Structure formats: structure tokens, C-alpha cells
Structure 1
Amino acid sequence: MSIANPHYEALKRTYGRLHRLTHLESMASWDQAANMPPGGNQARADALTEMAGLLHRMRTDPMLQAQLSGAEAEQLDEAQRANLREMSREWRRSNALPEALVERRSQATSRCEHAWRSQRPANDWAGFLPNLQEVLAVAREEARLLAERSGLGLYDAMMDQYEPGMTSATAARVFGELRTWLPGLIRAVGERQARETVVPAVGPFPLPAQRALCERVMKLLDFDFSAGRLDVSTHPFSGGVPEDVRLTTRFYEDDFLPSLMGTVHETGHGRYEQNLPRDLLGQPVALARSMAIHESQSLAFEMQLGSHPGFARLLSPLVSEAFGAQPAFEPANLHKLLTRVKPSLIRVEADEVTYPAHVILRFEIERALIEGEAEAADIPAMWDERMRDLLGQDTRGNYKDGPMQDVHWPTGAFGYFPCYSLGAMYAAQWFAAMRREMPALDEQIAAGNLSPVFDWLKRNIWQQASRWTTDELALRASGETLNPAHFRAHLTQRYLS
């Protein structure tokens, strides 16, 4: 009996196998960050390098090219065509890179990230720099080869891995416009909030109570604990696969909000993964569309919903139960604590008004690094200058809270940072669309009914996965492609109206 679409079916089997092996790779990477004893790092780096080489050989198997060409002529439906498009994109990207470079990247990033975990708290920039230089050298070679294959610029080729279709010129234009009004907004909000009375929360906040609170809030946000879990790592992240989502956070005994809101952020990532279409699971079309869309989910949870006054009313009794009642935990005051705007050093703990400045800073530095206009040794001076100009902060000599604070550069994720602020813009756009569709949305949130938010995201974003290009997804969900005006309107309404 002949098989309909034999080339396409063969591709499906290959990509299903890739998904299962990537599952194992992601679990090993999560364990490396969350559980692995330090002595296991070299063995784990070798194992991950072996897996990276195996996956690369599968993705570049010459048979795939013939199967991709053959599938183009087969009778495929719309979803299958979208899957074939994503397979072809992955094949082109993989074939741009030789296996030796993929393995070198795995070794360099494992070594750099593992050392970074102890070098960062020690403020050891001198010790960190040699490893970072090797990661940057690999990233530049990767950018060169990707650019040659795609015809894109060097930094554009790196961005394209995370945000297909986005260019550095577009990102620079969007961020340039942001620079024109963001400093004034930060000043105006600061002046307004200086006149407000805010009761500070009184610690300490025991870490077991913080963890229990985080897990209760994850349940409030409908995270499925039968298909995921929360752990602790040096830098909060979400990983795993849709069937087994791994989230991490970090705790401070003197302040519970960073761990709580960091967990809310990662829960947005986790809910997206858990709600990707199951009927296509294991296929490229069932993966998240892009990292800006992924960040739009985490920031929809953390900023749009998590900093909503109605959500503060839901949090208030949970926080009081975790740490004991105190005036700071009353809903109105808790909302003030959640929406304090104050320029600070740490990106992942920044408020939503100053957060874009952290992203612009990193975007400008890493673009210069990849394009050869700056070297790794130049990062501290570039960082200090931009922190002073954008946020008025002095970071001289403070590497752990400066250029060593994020895990992205140690892991070679150059081109990722723009996705955060693009994601914040998309998140504002999604909520604007929700309010047009559901005028009583804010009243529903205030009443404790979060289902309208989750249902809209599931229908318009989660279940769509990679079926559409990013522009088409945004157009279908909100009636327009990316429109940064919604982000400005959101910040102005929440903080100045």
C-alpha cells in the first residue's frame, strides 16, 4: 500500500526523533543549572557536546534535502505546509554551521556558564573574561557563516535565530523611538510616586515560605504541576519541553518580590509551552513562534497581569498567609510595591518602565561585539557609559551587578536581548486587543476571574504555535503587526493617569 506524501511523512519521523532527543538534551541542561554538583561539569559538558554533534548530524543529513524538495511537490494541507516551511528553515540554518563549530560552541558555553556561576558572586571579571572571549569568538564565526548562508548582516543573522524576520535596523528604529520618550516618562513617574506614601514590607521572609508562595501563585495562574516543576538556579529561566516544563527562580531572604514576580514571569513561559498544540507535538510547527512572542507571554503574566491592581487583590491574602499579616500586604499598598519605578542595576528585577533601558543597553553592546566594532574587554566601559546615560546608575567596578549579571552572553545567546522589549510591546498589544474584544476585562481580573486572559492567549497565541509568521500571527491576534504605541499607552495609563 502506498503512503500518501511519503517525503513529508519521512520528514515527520525524523523531526519527531529530533524532538525526543532534544527532550533529553534539555533535561541535562536544566540539571546542569539547577542540580548538578560542581564536579560533574566537565563530564556533563562532554555529554552535551556529544549530543549537540549527534543532533547536528541528524539536522544536516543529506537525505533531508531530497525529502524537503520532494515534499514541496506533495499534496499538503495548510498546517503541513507550515510545518514544511519550519523544517526548511531549520535545515538551512543547521547546514550553515559545521559540526566542529557546533561542538566547539557547546564546550565553550558550558565552560563559561559553569565558571560564571562562581565568578559572578566573586565579582571576578578578570577570571570571567578569557572564557567569554572564547564564547564571543565562536559566536562571531557562527554569525559569519549564518550571514553567508542567509544574506543577512552579521547581527541580523544571530537575531534571526530567535526572532525570524526581525532586523537590527528595525530594532534600532523601535528602540530609538523609545529613547525619545522613555527618560521623560521615567522622570515623570518618579516625581509622581515620590509624593505617594508606601508602607515597606518587613522581613525577613523565610525561603521555604517564599517557595510555597511561588507555587501557590503558579497554581493560581493554572500552571500544570503534573507536567512541570519549580526549582532554584543562579539565574531564573524556563526550560524543558511541553510535556515536562522546568521553571527556576532565586530567593532573597530580605525581599520576596523578586522571587515571586520572577516566578510569575517564568510561569508565563511555562503556560505557553504547556498549551502548544498537542496534535502536532514533536514537529517544528508546534514549537513556540519566536522568542519575542515567548517573552510576550512571560511579560503578559508578569507585567500586564501580575502588576494589575486586581491581581494585587488576589495576591494579598496569599502573601499574608505566607509571611503573616502586615500593613504592607494590604491590596492597595501591595500594588504600589509591585509598581514602584526606580532605576536599578539588575535587569530581571527592574520595573516595567525602566526595563527597556536595560534591553537597549545590551542590544547596543552585543551588536557592536558581533559586528567586530568592540571586543569583550571593552564591555565594562561600554556598560558603565550606557548605565549612566540611560538609568543614571554608577556601575564602575561592580561587574556582578553589571555585565556579569545575565547568563545570556556566557551561553552564547547573542541576539536574544531585543526579544525582551519587543515581547513587552507585543504583551501590551495583546491586552489592548483583549480589552477591545472584552470591555469588562479589568473588572473580570479584579473579581478574580483570570480565565478570559488565559482563554484569549490560548486561542490566539498558544495554540497557533509556529503555524504563521510572526507578522501574520500578530495580525490575526490583534488586527495589526507590531505597534509599539500600545506599550507607551499602557505605561502612560498605568503610571500617570
Structure 2
Amino acid sequence: MSYTALVEHFEQLHHLQHLGAICGWDQATMMPPGGNEARAEALGTLAVLCHRQLQEAQLPDWFAAAEAGPLTPEQAVSLHEMRRAWRDANMLPADLVRARSLAGSRCEHAWRSLRPANDWAGFLPLFEEVLNLSRQAASARAEALGLSRYDSLLEQYEPGMRSRQLDQLFGNLGGWLPDLIRQVQERQRHERVLAPSGPFPTTQQKALGLEVMALLGFDFAHGRLDVSAHPFCGGVGEDVRLTTRYDEQDVTQALMGIIHETGHARYEQGLPAAWRKLPAGQARSMGVHESQSLFFEMQLARHPAFLARLAPMLERHFGPQPAFVPDNLARLYTRVEPGFIRVDADEVTYPAHVMLRFEIERDLIEGRMEARDLPERWDQLMQQYLGLSTKGNHKDGCLQDIHWTDGSFGYFPSYTLGAIYAAQQAAAMQQQLGPLDRLIGEDLPAIFGWLQQHIWQHASLLETGVLLSRATGQALDPAPFRLHLEQRYLA
């Protein structure tokens, strides 16, 4: 009976979170600018309601009674995940939850206009408030969990992962990645690559994106595609909201952004319906989530076999041109060139962008640097990792990402963890089903079926390490990622 009561209670929480997700999507896509303050207050109130739902006085008694059983193995895991959500909520007071929500909404909304204006001075006081409140939350979580402040935030996105493991992992990448970047650039130095010739009207880009989403199995009865300042996938599994941004002079980036977010969406749509309203039915971690988006974008969409399927689609929407020849598309989409913008980075230089952000956000949360020091530190690390300077160029430097504006510290490592997970999954899939070129050319549903069987259907019923080892036969290991890059770019 107590387990049933818990299920009903957490299903109510899911409904509130559903409303919050859709309100957040609307804030980023449809809401008029003048509505932001009222929306921020409404979302702050909703955050407090969700928080209170997890602080109900009867929950500890229900947990204790439910643990006495009997429970099926799946129900026992579900109970564990409910307890984890309850534990996390009870680390923070409601006034801090509301303050963080308000500060994050205000900072994010301002960022949308301050970034294009390169206005670091205008952004700084808003960001300082977000950072201060994030440090308070980190301190409360650290005390409750017995972790460092940064690790307590990392735990929200990648349960069980610690910064010392990331130091080892990124140390491994840092040992061979710079040389790989140099080798690939030298190899590509004399390649002839044709850039597609625009303009590419937004309406036609969207039509192309929708066609590619359909090819990738997106369920349009339970989701849609829109435009925002920063691409994202939001909503809930029953109603997934994707966004991208378009440049009418460049068809390549928006399309890959759509494919990336479609990977997120397919994961959400593939989570088990029976568990969808409970914590156990949610995505396992952000690293696992990113592994799905990066599997779609990097393992699939930049593969020559996929680009061969994409070429006639581009011609149908924009007319034939030499840049749309499959061989040229393959060179175009595997071009390695250090750049300022993380979301536009190639997959070889991308980990450098993540390692930079990991170093900075850990130091910000641990108090080893202050918000005012961010531009100088960013420039220093960009020169160290990618040989580029961002002095005075804040919009392409420390203002480029949306994550820190709402206090999402600890999120960035998920991107490179996801790339490593995705490479391991691709290697295991090919061992079981055969080479990707054949699967992409002849049997895309088999790829999605493998992901459904090994990743999507398990949601949070398995811990990340168990999920990965069962799917791939090995624990977290950067070796398949390195092999993938070497085979694609140097073979």
C-alpha cells in the first residue's frame, strides 16, 4: 500500500514537472520578451511546489513501510530512485530553490540579448548572483553527501562520477588528442572541400530537418521542432520539444543540430512507458543522454553511408550543386579545425572545449576563482587547448553557452562522457550486427532496435556503469573513442 501511495505521489510530481518543462520551452521559443519577469516568477513558484512535493512529511514513513516489501526487483529499484530524488530535494531549503529559479530565469533571459551585444559588463552582476546561489546549493549538497562542492553538483547529472575520475579521463585524452588534431589537420591541409552555396531559406531548411527526423524515426505524434537562441531538447517523453537555430548562409550546422537533438528525443521517446512518470523511468544520466545525441550526430550522421543518403535530400530541397556530392559532404562534415564555438566544433576538437569548461566551472564552484576572472581564464585556456584567443570577444568566448546562466554547473563533462559512451556502443553494435555502413545503408531500424534494447528501455533501472558494461561488455574506456577518431580521420 505504501509503495502504491509513493507511485501516486511521484506521478503528481511528474505532472508538475511536465508543466514546468513546457513553460520553459515556451519561454525559450514563443514567449514575448515582456513576459519574462512574470514567467520567471511563475516558474519559481512551480519549482517550489515541486520541491515541497518532495518534502512531504509522510514520505519517510512511506519509504520505510515500502521497503518492508514485498517488492519486485523493478519496484525495489524504483523505490531507490524515489529515495534519491527525495534525498536531493531535502538538501536545499525552499527559499534557496526559489531564489535559484528566479536568478536563473533572469540571467538566461538577459543573456539572449547581452551575448549578441558582447556585453560582459551587463552580464556579470546577473551571473554573480547565479554563481553565489549555486555555491550555496553546492555547499548544502556537499555537506549532505560528504562530497566536494563540485562533485555534489556533478552527482546531479552523472550519478557516481567524481572529478578525480574526470581528471584521469581528461588526462588520458589530453595525452593524445593534441597530436591527433595536428595529424588530422596536416592530412586535411591539401584536401579540396566545397562549401555549399546559399542562401538556404529557413523554411526549406526546416523542411529538410523534418525529413531527416522522420528518417531517424522521430515520432511526430509526440513531439515537434521549433527555433530558439540555443538548440535544446525539452518537454517530456510524451511531448518532446526540439529546437534549433538557422543561418540562411549555412545549411550544415542547423541540420546537424537537429540530428543531435533528435538523438536526445529518440531516447526520451524510447523510455519505457510503464515507468515514464516515475524517477526510475527517467534518463539514467546526462552522459547517457548525450551518448544518444552524439551517437546520432557523430557515429551516424557524419558516416559516409549516411551522407550518401543525405545528398539527394539536400538536392531535392536546394537544387543540385557540387558541394552536395557525397564525397564532398564527407570531407565537409569531417573537417577538423579549431574554432571558438563549442556547438559548432568538430568531434576531434570538441573534447578540448569540454575540458576547458570543466576546469573553469570546478574552480568557480570551489571558490578558486571569481566570476569577474572568467574572461581572462577563458582566453588563457582557449590559447592552451586550441591556440585561439578570445580577448575582448566575449560572445564567442565565455558568453557563448546557456548552461551557466541558470546554474547548470557540473553538466559540461556529460558531453565528452557521452562521446566516449557512444563510441563504445557503436563498437559493440558492430560486433553484434555488422558494420555501420551496411546498417546505415540497408537497415537503420536495426540500429534503433539495438539502442532500444540495450539503452532506452532500461531508463534509470540500471546504474550507469552496469548499463554501459551490459551494453558494450566493458566499463568506461576512452580506447574505443580514440580508435573511432583514428579510423575516421587518419585511416
What TM-score, normalized to structure 1? 0.98
Report deviation, 1:393.
1.0
Where in structure 2 are the equivalents of 1:170-319 lying within 5 Å?
Answer: 170-319=165-314
SS in 2 for 1:247: strand
Amino acid at match of 2:132: A
Contact conserved, 1:441 with 1:452, CA < 8 A, in 2?
Answer: no
Contact conserved, 2:304 with 2:437, CA < 8 A, in 1?
Answer: no
Report deviation, 1:135.
0.2
Contact conserved, 1:56 with 1:94, CA < 8 A, in 2?
Answer: yes
Amino acid at match of 1:488: R
Distance 2:236 2:411 in 1: 19
Matched, 1:458 2:452: yes
Report deviation, 1:322.
1.3
Distance 1:344 1:71 in 2: 53
Distance 1:246 1:13 in 2: 26
What TM-score, normalized to structure 2? 0.99
Distance 1:324 1:186 in 2: 34
Matched, 1:482 2:473: no
Report deviation, 1:69.
1.4
In structure 2, the partner of 1:362 is: 357
Amino acid at match of 2:263: G
Contact conserved, 2:336 with 2:346, CA < 8 A, in 1?
Answer: yes
In structure 2, the partner of 1:444 is: 439
Distance 1:131 1:181 in 2: 38
Report deviation, 1:198.
1.4
Amino acid at match of 2:156: Q
Contact conserved, 2:196 with 2:251, CA < 8 A, in 1?
Answer: no
In structure 1, the partner of 2:398 is: 403
Contact conserved, 1:156 with 1:168, CA < 8 A, in 2?
Answer: yes
SS in 2 for 1:361: helix
1:97 counterpart (61, 85, 92): 92
In structure 2, the partner of 1:3 is: none
Distance 1:312 1:269 in 2: 20
SS in 1 for 2:297: helix
Amino acid at match of 2:457: Q
Distance 1:357 1:312 in 2: 26
Matched, 1:416 2:411: yes
Amino acid at match of 1:405: Q
In structure 2, the partner of 1:133 is: 128
Report deviation, 1:446.
2.9
Amino acid at match of 2:437: D
SS in 1 for 2:230: coil
Report deviation, 1:411.
1.2
SS in 2 for 1:409: helix
In structure 2, the partner of 1:147 is: 142
Distance 2:319 2:222 in 1: 31
Deviates more, 1:190-199 or 1:161-170: 190-199
Report deviation, 1:394.
1.4
Unaligned runs of 5+ in 1: 1-5
Cα deviation, 1:230-280, whole Å, max 9, x if unaligned, reads 000000000000000000000111111110000000000000000100112
Amino acid at match of 1:460: H
Report deviation, 1:321.
1.1
1:472 counterpart (462, 466, 470): 466
Matched, 1:340 2:335: yes
SS in 2 for 1:380: helix
Deviates more, 1:261-270 or 1:332-341: 332-341
* Count of residues in correspondence between the two structures: 491
SS in 2 for 1:27: helix
Distance 1:201 1:355 in 2: 23
Report deviation, 1:442.
2.4
SS in 2 for 1:230: strand
1:54 counterpart (34, 49, 57): 49
Contact conserved, 1:162 with 1:290, CA < 8 A, in 2?
Answer: yes
Amino acid at match of 2:473: G
Matched, 1:11 2:3: no
Matched, 1:110 2:102: no
In structure 2, the partner of 1:28 is: 23
Report deviation, 1:435.
0.9
Unaligned runs of 5+ in 2: none
Cα deviation, 1:330-386, whole Å, max 9, x if unaligned, reads 111111111111100100010000000000000000000000000011110110011
Distance 1:377 1:176 in 2: 27
SS in 2 for 1:152: coil
Contact conserved, 1:159 with 1:415, CA < 8 A, in 2?
Answer: yes
Report deviation, 1:131.
0.3
